[in-house]
Amino acid sequence: MGLLTAFVGFASSFAVVLHGLTGVGATEAQAASGLMALSISMGVCAIVLSVATRLPVSIAWSTPGAALLSSSGAVAGGFNTAVGSFLICGALIVIAGLWKPLGRMVAAIPAALANAMLAGVLIGLCFAPVKAVAFNPLLGLPIVLAWVAVGAVNRLLAVPAALLAFALVLAFGIDMPADVFTRLTATLVPQAEWVTPAFSFAGLVSIALPLFVVTMASQNIPGIAVLKVNGYEPNPGPLFATTGLFSILSAPFGGHAVNLAAITAAMCAGEDAHRDPARRYWAAIVAGLGYVIFGLLAATVTAFVSLAPKILIEAVAGLALVAAFSGSAMAAFKEPNSREAAAVTFLVTASGVSFAGISGAFWGLAAGGLMLALARMVARRT
């Protein structure tokens, strides 16, 4: 189960991470370094926390956060400013774990608005599979059909199947450069790219704060809930703080955020991992080792993926986010009292329009918050 967790966790969303990092200005080498740093960090973090707590603590990179980066676009100062924002996000996660008032503030953000912002961030990438089929049906359709066919049997393997179809399309449907094997073998040795962080107000508001909110609301808090559902009683604070620390360590090498896993957490914490709940933490440890190995191969993975048309990479990323989009959209519009505010949050975020150099994700959350506050004020007066 640990090996399957590592494979599903890496294969189902690494394309989202690569797309997100390049979206905020990373070069191919910097994106590969970021992918490597994230994978190794979350692997080591999972091992450390699982050994220390004897709980099946699964760790992941922030997939919704990576989708947020792809919609945010590059900020003034380029990838250096993005890395500075990653550091701020990691520091905020540490503070949220150690200082309870901040954690309560994040938990107090209306779930409808947080989910609406996430849905607005994700919808752009979720259009990519359709665009890929329109771009070239012979290339895009096999990827989508593999996702549909395998997903009908096993939803967990749907995205890995799409990834396999992508690899086959890339191998047999695209003209490869003559030196392709030389280029791929040259990347077998992992190379970390140091990125000197830069800080700006636009980076703080456009990247750091939305990334922090999305990571806490859609990853860390649900990750705790999954452990509790399976009969464990974790102490959230130290877990959050540790993931924030590993986020800080990975940021200078291009990593955006490390957090508690949600989907793969259920794999390690469930009965399929082991009949004895006290021994399931070994699944998370093995998954951590698997992530470290995948991280060492990140440069080769990135070099291979870069050979494909960009729209095909986006298509795989979009398919990986369909479930997250549907879940967040349903949660956003579930309650009638907050539905209009959620709609405003979703529309402003999905527009992708930035004002004063600040991305739509922040403005969407702000606009929805104002709408919700106004509606509650009117309701109290009447």
- pLDDT digits 0-9 by tens, 220-256: 887 887 788 778 888 888 999 999 999 999 999 999 9
What pLDDT was estimated at residue 167? 85
| Separation of alpha carbons 121 and 65, rounded Å | 9
With residue 259 as reference, give the H or E element that holds it.
strand 258-260
Model confidence, pTM: 0.76
Is the pLDDT confidence value at 357 over 60?
no
Token pair recorded at residue 317? 């990323």
Is the pLDDT confidence value at 302 over 80?
no
What pLDDT was estimated at residue 276? 86
* β-sheet bridge partners, residue 59: 260
Q: Residue 121: which pLDDT band, with cuts at 50, 70 and 90? A: confident
Number of domains within the chain: 1
Three-state SS at 188: coil
Angle at 105 between CA 217 and CA 379, to 5 degrees: 95
Average pLDDT, the chain: 85
What pLDDT was estimated at residue 226? 76
Our CA dihedral for 341, 346, 347, 352, rounded to 10 degrees, sits at 140
The residue with greater pLDDT, 72 or 53, is: 53
Is the pLDDT confidence value at 373 over 60?
yes
Please classify residue 114 by burial: count the beta carbons closer than 10 Å to its beta carbon, then call 0-12 exposed, 13-18 middle and 19+ buried: buried
Q: Which residue bears the tokens 């979350």?
A: 42
Instruction: Please give the residue range of the domain that contains residue 59.
Output: 2-381
Is the pLDDT confidence value at 348 over 70?
yes
What pLDDT was estimated at residue 145? 94
What pLDDT was estimated at residue 186? 62
The residue with greater pLDDT, 279 or 177, is: 279
7-27 average pLDDT score: 85
How much helix, strand and coil, in percent to the nearest 5, is found in the chain? Answer: 75, 0, 20
Q: Give the percent of the chain with pLDDT over 90.
A: 29
3-15 average pLDDT score: 79
